[in-house]
Chains A and B, each alone.
Chain A
């Protein structure tokens, strides 16, 4: 996409491909990185709800009755911009946060 000559561009910068924004990886904007501490996670899914992007991944697991259940997986660092909302909203377990922010590249 970024190698196109001006003669090849679609008229008026219209994006003719649906869903192409997934190709634009914005994780590189991040300076703070959320760290998920699984033992403190109560699976409340607040982080998934509050994430302004779609950077909290969810996986399907069977519960003890054998039924499908959505549970928290790790972050999608291709798109997480490190805003920290998930860490702020995280209730944690017994006063211990399940998400903490760490400086990127530390």
Chain B
């Protein structure tokens, strides 16, 4: 067993990167991820890692350098937030389409305008379709554990895809929490030796990355990319089982909390799940059959598995920390997609909360559960999508 420490989410992720010791990191500072890479750069400066740290002039360059290093045959990581992720936009698709296992903690932050540095999921949700695997972490421990597992998942020979490990900006990235670190040797052993696939630096076998593929093959390449995503859940669960053996900490595609006998469910990701669990306990004490489902893996989205976990509930509230303007919240859309395969159709509501770091307070969870109780009783939904915690 490793040591127990009091650290921030950023510090925990930087520690995971130190323990993994990637060959190359290319990064550009952006609040609230700056602190993560700054800590990692200290490890580089102090000789604690052998990583080549490339200090680039923008996030577009950061991801470009990561792509180059990964294609060359290296184990690669970086980190970013918000506008930084937005600036990486075109390179995100290239990393995934080229099947390069780049691991990137994403410290979730709102997107401008108006300019805001605090936490919400607008950045990660915008990268939903890039072809990256995405994990969302509730706390610093999960961010640390997910980062370590991400290397195994992304680098798995059946997968070879980039992975984003998300945590809520400031709420997790800058709050000090209890975290159990794994021993260096155990992390090293767990992630194993990096195996390069078609490395450019294999000079005996010259090859080209990034060809022009037009109407005769592009569709086939995208079909192949779809296929690899279908293999991800099994690898995620296999890696989680091995991780549990090492640490005793259990991970799935999603987490359920008091859901087995629940009549109503709240679906919410990341740090807000913790607050919601506390309120669920209070309602449970009063005999209300309410439970929670917290997706961990957002891409690929485990529709079937989530449908099975939710099929017995009468009413579901999906809480989104991002909006899709003119549409339902992104998580709500996924849950309705999951519900499609269920025999009974539960009533569903969508709440948009916590944008730009607005606190998600216990009263908001209570408000949602009270509404769910009413909906479960009457079967009637008045407004599908609504903002909560907003002054009006």
Contacts and interface: CB of A to CB of B under 8 A. Distances in A.
A11 B207 CA distance: 12
Contact of B207 (A4, A5, A9, A18): A18
A9 B218 CA distance: 11
Contact of B208 (A4, A5, A11, A14): A14
A18 B206 contact: yes
B98 interface: yes
A11 B198 CA distance: 9
Interface string A1-45: 110111101111111111111000000000000000000000000
Interface residues of B, number: 22
Interface string B215-237: 01100110110010000000000
Nearest to B207: A16
A11 B216 CA distance: 17
A12 B205 contact: no
A48 B217 CA distance: 34
Contacts of A6: 220-221, 223-224, 227
A2 B160 contact: no
Contacts of A19: 206
B47 interface: no
Interface in B178-229: 197-198, 205-211, 213, 216-217, 220-221, 223-224, 227
A85 to B, nearest CB: 22
B121 interface: no
A7 B207 contact: no
A11 B209 CA distance: 11
Nearest to B197: A11
A4 B224 contact: no
Nearest to A24: B212
B224 A14 contact: no
Interface of B: 97-100, 160, 197-198, 205-211, 213, 216-217, 220-221, 223-224, 227
7 residue pairs, one from A and one from B, having the closest CB atoms? A12-B99, A6-B220, A18-B206, A15-B208, A6-B223, A2-B216, A12-B98
11 contacts: A6-B221, A6-B224, A7-B224, A11-B224, A12-B97, A12-B198, A13-B98, A18-B205, A18-B206, A19-B206, A20-B208
